[in-house]
Each structure stands twice: as structure tokens, then as C-alpha cells.
Amino acid sequence: MAALREAGATLFIHCGDIGGEEILELLADNHPAVCVWGNTDVDRVELSRYAAKLGIDCRGEFADLEFDGKKIAVTHGDDVRLMQRATGGQQYDYLLHGHTHVARDWRLGRLRIINPGAALPRGEENRRHPRYPYRRGEVSDSGGGIG
């Protein structure tokens, strides 16, 4: 998180599988944050209360965001109906999701779909959990993530 802050991140978006209060604390550390729930987030009521106390904007299973004129859908990726909602109609510029823990960045028509992969401490990466190459920048179509 510190590296992302140093690179200029001004908002953190978590794509689900938060797991516990310690992750919420990392998200809330002096920056705005938005999160959605994943399939492993079983204690959502308690996590929601804690997130609200920390000022984190929890959007349930689906977030509909807009930054710099770009429409962004965020969901965990385990609910086929929500994925279809985000990909159908081409109303979004970006779809951010997790679930598979495998980093991927591709396009479906005008929609750019990004799975950042799992965020693991340095040294714990493997082929199934790569670190996503975040870069400093603004919301753009030029690659490298949404900064």
C-alpha cells in the first residue's frame, strides 16, 4: 500500500475477499477507499460496521463508479449475473474484478477488463498469484492500470 501511495494513488479499490479488519485498516490508512464483497467475506455485517467506522465506502457486491468521465464497474467476479451486468451493453469503460487471483488485463469491445490478481507480500508471489504492474497515472486507456 505504501508503494501505491508513493506512486500517487489517491483512491484504493478492493475487488473483494477482504477477509478481516486488518485489510480494512490497510485500505483506510489516510486515503479514500471503496470495496466490494467477495465470496470469502462471510462476516459482512461486522466488516461493514468496521469499514464504516474507518470511512471506507463498502458498496456490497457491485460498485458503479465514475472518475474523470470514465464509468467503472467493480465486482468480485464470482457472480455470473453481476459480470454479465457489467459487460452487457458496453455502458462501462472499465470492469475491475478479482475472484480468480490471476492478473489479467484485456478488452471486450470498448470495455477494458482488469483483474489485478492477488495482492501478496513481496516474496509470496507465484504463478497463480502474480503482482499486478500498477503504475502512476490517471484513469486512461493507455495500459498499466488505473492510478
Under the banding of pLDDT at 50, 70 and 90, the label for residue 120 is low
The fold adopted by the segment(s) 2-115 is Purple Acid Phosphatase; chain A, domain 2 (3.60.21)
- The pLDDT score that the predictor gives to residue 139 is 45
Angle at 143 between CA 28 and CA 117, to 5 degrees: 50
- The pLDDT score that the predictor gives to residue 135 is 39
- The pLDDT score that the predictor gives to residue 6 is 87
Residues 6+ apart with CB under 8 A from 93: 70, 71, 72, 110, 111, 112, 139, 141
pLDDT at 74 over 90: yes
Q: Domain residues of the chain, as ranges?
A: 2-115
Under the banding of pLDDT at 50, 70 and 90, the label for residue 54 is very high
- The pLDDT score that the predictor gives to residue 1 is 76
| Cβ proximity of 34 and 65 under 8 Å | yes
Q: What value does the mean pLDDT take over residues 73-95?
A: 96
* pTM summary value: 0.81
d(CA 28, CA 145): 20
Under the banding of pLDDT at 50, 70 and 90, the label for residue 144 is very low
Count Cα neighbours of 130 within 13 Å in the Cβ-side half-sphere: 10
